[in-house]
Chain A
Amino acid sequence: MPDSPLNTGRKKLTVKERLREPHILAEMVKLSLNQSSASQKEFLQVLEGLAGAIRDMLENAGLIHAVEIDHRRMWAEVAGKPISFVDGGMANVTSLGTEPIAVRVGSYTVTPGNAGEDRETFNMEKQLVAELFDTSSSKGIFDDLFEDPSKLRDAARFCLETSAAVQCLERHPKPEFLFLHGALVNPVSAYADQYFPAFSQRGIDILLPPQERNRKGREATFVCVYLYMLEALARSGANVASVVERASASMLVSTTLLRDLNKFPVSPGATDLEAAVRRIRDFRIPDSLLFHAILNEGEYITPVAVDRNVESKRPQYSFDIIGLYPLPKVTYVGVGHFVQPLRVEFFDPPPAGYETCIRLVIHACRLMPNYAFPAGLDIVDKFAKVPNWMSRPINSTMAVQLLKNAIDNGNPRIIEAAKRMLCGTKRDWLFRPDFKG
């Protein structure tokens, strides 16, 4: 049985014990729901076996690390050091029909231990998606040509978040640590063919520094601009990390890790490791679940470099560019017994203070309900979020009125938005970062 949250931190469990805990069982049941009960049982066996074996190897290879929870030490260590948090979200702004989809990116910089007026800085960028891209060549960004307008929004958000992070590092006080919400290096292949609109001049002006604003053609496309910004961020010298709290179906970290383990003396050999990788794939065991089974609270693994832009998916148009993308180094961090581990990503090589970053994440999580998410990112998330009222069910007379207007207006975009407003839940309003491995 789980202990109360307060003393779980000190207790080490075996993989088997962890897998018997109700919250992780529930996760497994969810995953294996549409499998037969025989394969459900097998699923548990496989998970238990794999997790046990992997933990065994990691421990013996010195790849699992434990962080001691000690608030006093932690905060004393970063006292006087500015720390930034950056997060963005999609927003449907104010009234329908007047303003289309926008991206909002917020940043929060705080200096622990500073009691002065300048302890905290908040910044907010709000940018209309349509204005970022050059749509002169086509009739409109929401035409059939782009069957998935959400791609434009994602691309816009990746760039704006990264750009906000770069700008954050140029401000005073310059942060020593910078945390982003979402993947550090997103997969780009889906936004990189010749049909994908280039940035408008305005978009370029917003995203790039003056000496980089003369871009034309492919240079002005997302895949090039985003790369430039990632490189700038990686070069900055700050301790940059990103945090993802959501479960995803990705198995990229565990399969990469298994293959990497072959280089260590603990490896039983490539054949066996490949067999383990196959098991993971057969049973579709996601990273978050596997590492939940492997890691105790306060533990993390040595970061692993993963490639989200595999050659097979790269469009020809930008094949060479995508090859230049940095590989993020990814770790999982156990933050609490009851919640899935957080994924934390760094550039490769990881910055000098990456271990401090991980400890900060763990301590920041302890300031939050269920320890599920670090406090600073939570603050900037709330700050950048679509205001509360938009996510509440809207007054029905007004909504009906809106829908009627939208239909009269005939603009499918507005109709779509109006519908979303009528039935929308909070999450529909915010297209949260979602890892597409």
Chain B
Amino acid sequence: MTANNTWTPIGTVVGNATTSEFSFILKSFKSRVGDLVAVQMEVPDEARQGKQSIYVWGRVVTINRFNPFFPYEAAQELSNEGLSLQDTILSNSRDQLEAGVLILGCTAADGNFKNLYPLTYPVQPAAEVLYPPAKAIKELLAGGIPGHTPMRIGTLIARQDVDISISVDRVVARHMAILAMTGGGKTVAARRILRELIDLGYPLLILDPHGDYLGLWQKRELFQGSTVRLLYPHIAMTEQNRHIVEILINKMTEGLTEPQREVLSECLSEVDPEEGESVLRYIKRLRDTIARKASRVSDRRKLPTLSVCRRQLGVVENRLERMELTNERMRQRLRHLKFEQMPDPQGCPEAIISPRTISILYLGGYDHLTQTTIASILLEAIYEHRANLSNRIPPFLAVIEEAHTFIPSSREGASDVPSLETIRKLITEGRKFGTGLVLISQRPSRVDETILSQCNSFLILRLVNPRDQNFVKQIMENLSEQDARMLPGFGPGQGIISGQAVRFPLLARIRMDEDLIYTDLGDENFLKQAQDWKPDPHAPVRKRVAGKIQQLSRLPDRRPKGRGTAPKHENGDSTPPEGRDQSEQSRWDKVRKVFAMDTRAIGDLEAVTGLDWDQSRRREKVASYAKLPWKKLKAQGLSSHKRSRLLQLLEAAAAFSAHNQ
């Protein structure tokens, strides 16, 4: 045979060989786990008339080392007697290495390794195991998948002289999962894949909760002819996604009861989103609508329901506002990066997905729920554009980091995460519509199993957690037991790549694109930050202003008759308790007159004003309090804080009715 002469023999087949695996005794250290090896063999040819010479290809999955000549009992005798092995006649020079090989398939032995067939005869015991030269392995791997575009992602773990390529076609339409514990090299691997796709001009979208991909923008001059865009979230309301308001309420608050939900949907249908309106603004408008409703409502029993709805919307509004602010602050820290507001994916999808464009949506600062909501809205919209075949946007690939957030397993008790169903759709229809996904997670066992198992290719890097290992074994049918055992031992960037993107599972070392490393946004150097920390120059200003405002807010609405300005104290705590009490007393006397004859319940006032006073007293009549003088309120068991809040409630309600008349 031709090539055989240059193929080094590295061992001899031993033991029971099957068509799927064999073992061989390895000449010392001639091979490593992950190596591809070959055995030459004669099998009957297809016509069953003559013989045909083939190479059986396999991957070394285990190497065990043992001293076959060392009896176990000797160890005991040696230690009992305090002897060293060297002083006796025992042998210690004959360690044996037994390697386990998973068979990948066979090719003709004539040097044409394009076609890999399943093996139908076991390899012969005592056969010689060969170490193919890099060239032969390259040919085998280059066989790849006929007609597919290869992308180089690294080398064989055991042989850095052999590059590994995976099929672009399979990744972009049949999805890929990158799973590893934190620090395993997921992001590095994803960047490698993205790099290749950028070179191909493939439209890309990245959901980036931690800012791991922002550096691509910095390095954008490396991607000549491509555009890198950094986006920050903007949830625009549309006709279709009004339900997200409900989701947000359900998730961010303790939720709504059935009647409350009715009120909300009523309002939702009444308030139409305006063009490009943000959720935040929409929610503000909803709240106003509810307030107005409350003031007009005829059936006063409805007031508490309205009040709760309004309050919950307030909570959502608050939190959204806070998160928007956090995201903005985080972006400000990255001042040298240029962020744009996320375009409306529905009205303007081509601003996000287009050829030679890589859009990175930075989700930092948002909580999981909001991240998933944003993802859901975005992905849903662009999916629709693909699915309705309008051809407004090209096929694309979306990279989803922290997939366990966006598609959590039902075991995580988060079944109605908004992005779950959206991503399920994308992944099941990806093949039809060209909506490919790369799912990345450091906790595979927390990812939805059915969605993850739709991935046809897997890159599994280091995984230590046994639950994650088991999970990975379950979803990857072709992951061998030996391979699974290897997972915790991988170093950064080392892993198993398997599935449709490769001809057969390979142990890979992912290539790290050194030129994509950017130092000024990676891990934050808290040590340095702490050392360099100086008090913010604005802090004293903030403190002064806050003090002033507090001081002012304690002032009565109007100056009580015959009194001067409240005395100023430097510490800001200017009003002595009785003084405050006195001013509150006079305010109370004034406002309680308005409600002396009011038939409404406390809860009704709460609903109108959106203020909370006391849940347990909601059913009580406003008048029952209004008729009491300030001092008597104390006798009702109301603390001074409670009393102040009651005062505020009544004042607000009075103001509200004054406003609406």
Q: Give A residues with C-beta under 8 Å from B.
A: 71-72, 75-76, 79, 83, 85, 94-95, 108, 110, 112-115, 119-120, 122, 360, 364, 366-370, 375-376, 378-379, 382-383, 387-390, 392, 394-395, 397-398
Task: Give the chain B neighbours of A379 by CB distance below 8 A.
Answer: 69, 89-91
Tell me whether B83 and A71 are in contact (CB under 8 A): yes
**Interface presence of B526 (CB below 8 A):** no
- Residue of A whose beta carbon sits closest to that of B89: A376
Task: Give the chain A neighbours of B68 by CB distance below 8 A.
Answer: 382
Cβ < 8 Å to A, chain B residues 51-73: 68-69, 71-73
Task: Give the chain A neighbours of B125 by CB distance below 8 A.
Answer: 94, 389-390, 394
| Other-chain contact of A395, B14, B16, B88 (Cβ < 8 Å) | B16
- 9 tightest A-B CB contacts, nearest first: A367-B74, A379-B69, A75-B87, A376-B89, A389-B14, A71-B81, A389-B15, A120-B93, A94-B126
* Minimal beta-carbon separation of A158 from chain B (angstroms): 25
Contacts A95-B126, A366-B77, A387-B14; A83 near B89 (Cβ below 8 A): yes
* Minimal beta-carbon separation of B476 from chain A (angstroms): 28
Q: Give B residues with C-beta under 8 Å from A.
A: 13-18, 25, 68-69, 71-74, 77-78, 81-83, 86-94, 122, 124-126
Would you give 7 A-B contacts (Cβ < 8 Å), ordered by A? A72-B83, A75-B87, A120-B93, A369-B73, A389-B14, A394-B125, A395-B18
Separation of A112 and B16 alpha carbons in the complex (Å): 37
Task: Give the chain B neighbours of A360 by CB distance below 8 A.
Answer: 89
Separation of A394 and B16 alpha carbons in the complex (Å): 6
Tell me whether A112 and B88 are in contact (CB under 8 A): yes
Tell me whether A79 and B87 are in contact (CB under 8 A): yes
* Minimal beta-carbon separation of A374 from chain B (angstroms): 8
Tell me whether A392 and B16 are in contact (CB under 8 A): yes
Task: Give the chain B neighbours of A364 by CB distance below 8 A.
Answer: 88-89
Task: Give the chain A neighbours of B71 by CB distance below 8 A.
Answer: 367-369, 375, 378
Task: Give the chain B neighbours of A113 by CB distance below 8 A.
Answer: 86-87
Separation of A100 and B87 alpha carbons in the complex (Å): 41
Contacts A71-B83, A72-B83, A368-B74; A375 near B89 (Cβ below 8 A): yes
Tell me whether B15 and A388 are in contact (CB under 8 A): yes
Separation of A275 and B18 alpha carbons in the complex (Å): 63
Decide if the interface of chain B is mainly helix, strand, loop or mixed: loop
- Residue of B whose beta carbon sits closest to that of A121: B93
Task: Give the chain B neighbours of A79 by CB distance below 8 A.
Answer: 87
* Minimal beta-carbon separation of A105 from chain B (angstroms): 17
- Residue of A whose beta carbon sits closest to that of B71: A368
Contacts A71-B81, A72-B81; A368 near B73 (Cβ below 8 A): yes
Tell me whether A367 and B88 are in contact (CB under 8 A): yes
Task: Give the chain B neighbours of A119 by CB distance below 8 A.
Answer: 86, 93
Contacts A379-B69, A382-B68, A383-B69; A367 near B14 (Cβ below 8 A): no
Separation of A348 and B353 alpha carbons in the complex (Å): 97
Task: Give the chain B neighbours of A388 by CB distance below 8 A.
Answer: 14-15
Tell me whether A122 and B94 are in contact (CB under 8 A): yes
Separation of A394 and B74 alpha carbons in the complex (Å): 31
- Residue of A whose beta carbon sits closest to that of B124: A95
Contacts A72-B81, A368-B71, A378-B71; A112 near B87 (Cβ below 8 A): yes
Tell me whether A375 and B94 are in contact (CB under 8 A): no
* Minimal beta-carbon separation of B567 from chain A (angstroms): 94
Tell me whether B86 and A114 are in contact (CB under 8 A): yes
Task: Give the chain B neighbours of A389 by CB distance below 8 A.
Answer: 13-16, 125-126
Tell me whether B90 and A375 are in contact (CB under 8 A): yes
- Residue of A whose beta carbon sits closest to that of B93: A120
Task: Give the chain B neighbours of A369 by CB distance below 8 A.
Answer: 71-73
Task: Give the chain A neighbours of B93 by CB distance below 8 A.
Answer: 119-120, 122
Separation of A367 and B122 alpha carbons in the complex (Å): 40
Tell me whether A382 and B73 are in contact (CB under 8 A): no
- Residue of B whose beta carbon sits closest to that of A75: B87
* Minimal beta-carbon separation of A5 from chain B (angstroms): 9
Separation of A366 and B89 alpha carbons in the complex (Å): 12
Tell me whether A367 and B69 are in contact (CB under 8 A): no
* Minimal beta-carbon separation of B18 from chain A (angstroms): 7
Contacts A366-B77, A367-B71; A387 near B126 (Cβ below 8 A): yes
Task: Give the chain A neighbours of B18 by CB distance below 8 A.
Answer: 395
- Residue of A whose beta carbon sits closest to that of B78: A367
Separation of A122 and B96 alpha carbons in the complex (Å): 14
Separation of A389 and B82 alpha carbons in the complex (Å): 36
- Residue of A whose beta carbon sits closest to that of B13: A389
Separation of A163 and B77 alpha carbons in the complex (Å): 34
Task: Give the chain A neighbours of B14 by CB distance below 8 A.
Answer: 387-389
Tell me whether B91 and A110 are in contact (CB under 8 A): yes
- Residue of B whose beta carbon sits closest to that of A177: B89
New A-B pairs, 6, CB < 8 Å, besides A369-B73, A376-B89: A71-B77, A79-B87, A115-B86, A375-B88, A375-B89, A395-B122
Separation of A413 and B90 alpha carbons in the complex (Å): 39
Task: Give the chain B neighbours of A382 by CB distance below 8 A.
Answer: 68-69
* Minimal beta-carbon separation of A385 from chain B (angstroms): 10
Separation of A382 and B125 alpha carbons in the complex (Å): 19
Separation of A83 and B25 alpha carbons in the complex (Å): 28
Separation of A71 and B77 alpha carbons in the complex (Å): 9
Separation of A75 and B69 alpha carbons in the complex (Å): 19
Tell me whether B126 and A112 are in contact (CB under 8 A): no
Contacts A113-B87, A375-B90, A379-B69; A395 near B74 (Cβ below 8 A): no
* Minimal beta-carbon separation of A163 from chain B (angstroms): 23
* Minimal beta-carbon separation of A250 from chain B (angstroms): 28
* Minimal beta-carbon separation of B101 from chain A (angstroms): 14
Tell me whether B17 and A112 are in contact (CB under 8 A): no
* Minimal beta-carbon separation of B75 from chain A (angstroms): 9
Task: Give the chain A neighbours of B87 by CB distance below 8 A.
Answer: 75-76, 79, 112-113
Separation of A122 and B91 alpha carbons in the complex (Å): 10
- Of the listed residues A75, A119, A375, A392, the one surrounded by the most CB atoms of chain B closer than 10 A to its CB is A375
* Minimal beta-carbon separation of B550 from chain A (angstroms): 83
Separation of A382 and B90 alpha carbons in the complex (Å): 13
Task: Give the chain A neighbours of B78 by CB distance below 8 A.
Answer: 367
Separation of A120 and B93 alpha carbons in the complex (Å): 7
* Minimal beta-carbon separation of A241 from chain B (angstroms): 14
Separation of A392 and B69 alpha carbons in the complex (Å): 19
Task: Give the chain B neighbours of A394 by CB distance below 8 A.
Answer: 16, 125
Tell me whether A120 and B91 are in contact (CB under 8 A): yes
Task: Give the chain A neighbours of B81 by CB distance below 8 A.
Answer: 71-72
| Other-chain contact of A367, B17, B77, B86 (Cβ < 8 Å) | B77
Separation of A395 and B16 alpha carbons in the complex (Å): 6
* Minimal beta-carbon separation of B487 from chain A (angstroms): 30
* Minimal beta-carbon separation of A127 from chain B (angstroms): 18
Separation of A378 and B82 alpha carbons in the complex (Å): 22
Task: Give the chain A neighbours of B83 by CB distance below 8 A.
Answer: 71-72, 75
Task: Give the chain A neighbours of B72 by CB distance below 8 A.
Answer: 369
Tell me whether A398 and B122 are in contact (CB under 8 A): yes
Task: Give the chain B neighbours of A376 by CB distance below 8 A.
Answer: 89
- Residue of B whose beta carbon sits closest to that of A401: B121
Task: Give the chain B neighbours of A368 by CB distance below 8 A.
Answer: 71, 73-74
Tell me whether B91 and A108 are in contact (CB under 8 A): yes
- Residue of A whose beta carbon sits closest to that of B81: A71
- Residue of A whose beta carbon sits closest to that of B18: A395
Separation of A328 and B83 alpha carbons in the complex (Å): 34
Separation of A368 and B89 alpha carbons in the complex (Å): 12
Tell me whether B122 and A397 are in contact (CB under 8 A): yes
Separation of A79 and B86 alpha carbons in the complex (Å): 10
* Minimal beta-carbon separation of B237 from chain A (angstroms): 68
Separation of A9 and B147 alpha carbons in the complex (Å): 76
Separation of A244 and B125 alpha carbons in the complex (Å): 32
Task: Give the chain B neighbours of A387 by CB distance below 8 A.
Answer: 14, 25, 126
* Minimal beta-carbon separation of B28 from chain A (angstroms): 14
- Residue of A whose beta carbon sits closest to that of B68: A382
Separation of A24 and B93 alpha carbons in the complex (Å): 38
Separation of A387 and B126 alpha carbons in the complex (Å): 9
- Of the listed residues B14, B72, B89, B126, the one surrounded by the most CB atoms of chain A closer than 10 A to its CB is B89
Separation of A378 and B15 alpha carbons in the complex (Å): 21
Tell me whether A367 and B73 are in contact (CB under 8 A): yes
Separation of A95 and B13 alpha carbons in the complex (Å): 13
